[in-house]
A and B are shown apart, each in its own frame.
Chain A
Amino acid sequence: MQDFSYRKAQSIADAVDAMRGADDGAFLAGGQTLLPTMKQRLAAPSDVVDLSGIAELTGISVSGDTVTVGAMTPHAAVAASGAVRDAIPALCDLADGIGDPQVRNIGTIGGSIANNDPAADYPAACVALGATITTDRREITADEFFTGLFETALQDDEVIVSVSFPRPQAAAYMKFPNPASRYALVGVFVARTGGGVRVAVTGAGEDGVFRAGAMEAALTSAFSPDSISDGQVGEDGLMSDMHAGADYRAHLVAVMARRAVAAAG
């Protein structure tokens, strides 16, 4: 890993200032992706701005039908939260399946969505549940937030403050982990909401997380595993790599979607 200048931000404003003053800065959340990436020299930031000292970025609150998770809240805290489990149990289950226990103890929701790995779990929850991402300067809908592979709508010096999830009528997330890396080869999050059914797919898309429109329409008509069929998500736009071909991923999307609908009930 190349050396860098380290600064532990004392406030959100301090973090933004530090990033503006950096040649090539990176925010450090839990570091469970950033640090391995830096070790491989895929990233070599000149400045690392640590967000862990900003207390207001950590915590979970449930108000009415909205669950709000602070950006620096670790996955383990979401997984273990009784308040989240009462409101959106699928979100706890998803958080409990990220990485391994040690990664969940330090990895954060803000870090996950800011990185927007195409095989990450949280982007699927954000998109399917219609989450709102609150930053230091604006609110961004999940549909607008994830813009491509490892790309988001965030500006370079923009800090995620929290993610707010509206409570769905029913929801479930199912993933088929890569047997070696345990990242999602395909993950499907299904949410039944007052405005219809939303289905988000991670792990499979060439441009990262995406909504499966044909499945959403079929499930809005009849919320049943039988509404899912193989052709609803085609091979076009799906990744093909050493782990799985696009045809296999397309098939897995349907299988995972069926399981998610069955689990959501």
Chain B
Amino acid sequence: MPTVNMSVNGKPASGEVEARTLLVQFLRETLRLTGTHVGCDTSQCGACVVHVNGSSVKSCTMLAVQADGAEVVTIEGLADGDSLNPMQEAFRNNHGLQCGFCTPGMVMSAMDLVNRNPGATEAEIREWLEGNICRCTGYHNIVKSIQEAAGNMGD
């Protein structure tokens, strides 16, 4: 079986996987980082979004072996101890989550947007979230959260 080595949230991680093991399975089942969720498993919903080498990807549609040697950041890698990252804080302040299932993917996707486009407008945020589905339909407050975080993170 292939062995993979990668950096996950700044720490080295390795393990034996089957070739068909998805990155999200490796993160959740081998590394026990269960903050990354599997919603649809068909690359539609975005609950599984993580960052690979600085870009947001759907970890249900990437093999663990494809991430060999990569730097991976998951939702667990954002907070500094008990101190939430500004995007997480903004989701809390703006009631940006209801059931919370989509939230890890929303936050990771939003972080990628703000990194690329710090001054994103409401329309740009809504367009960016095309690949993230909230079954609670809580989009309005998710967009508000991201707008607030973008302002704070730009300071």
Contact = CB atoms under 8 A, between A and B. Distances in A.
Given A2-B20, A36-B43, A102-B109, A182 B130 contact: yes
Interface in A1-23: 1-6, 8
Contacts of A39: 41-42
Contact of A101 (B20, B43, B109): B109
Contacts of A99: 131
A105 B55 contact: yes
B19 A35 contact: no
Task: Give the dominant DSSP class at A's interface.
Answer: mixed
Nearest to B55: A105
A39 B56 CA distance: 21
Contact of B61 (A36, A76, A182): A36
Could you tell me the dominant secondary structure of chain B's interface residues?
mixed
Contacts of B2: 6
B56 A48 contact: no
A148 to B, nearest CB: 25
Of the candidates B43, B113, B130, the one having the most CB atoms from chain A within 10 angstroms of its own CB is: B43
A37 B42 CA distance: 9
B42 A102 contact: no
Interface string A95-138: 00001111101100000000000000000000000000000000
A81 B41 CA distance: 31
Contacts of A105: 55-57, 112
16 contacts: A2-B20, A3-B18, A3-B19, A5-B19, A36-B42, A36-B43, A52-B66, A100-B132, A101-B56, A101-B112, A101-B128, A102-B43, A102-B56, A102-B109, A103-B43, A105-B57
Given A8-B65, A101-B128, 6 more contacts: A31-B66, A48-B19, A100-B46, A100-B130, A102-B49, A102-B109
Interface of A: 1-6, 8, 28, 31-32, 35-36, 38-39, 48, 50, 52, 76, 99-103, 105-106, 182
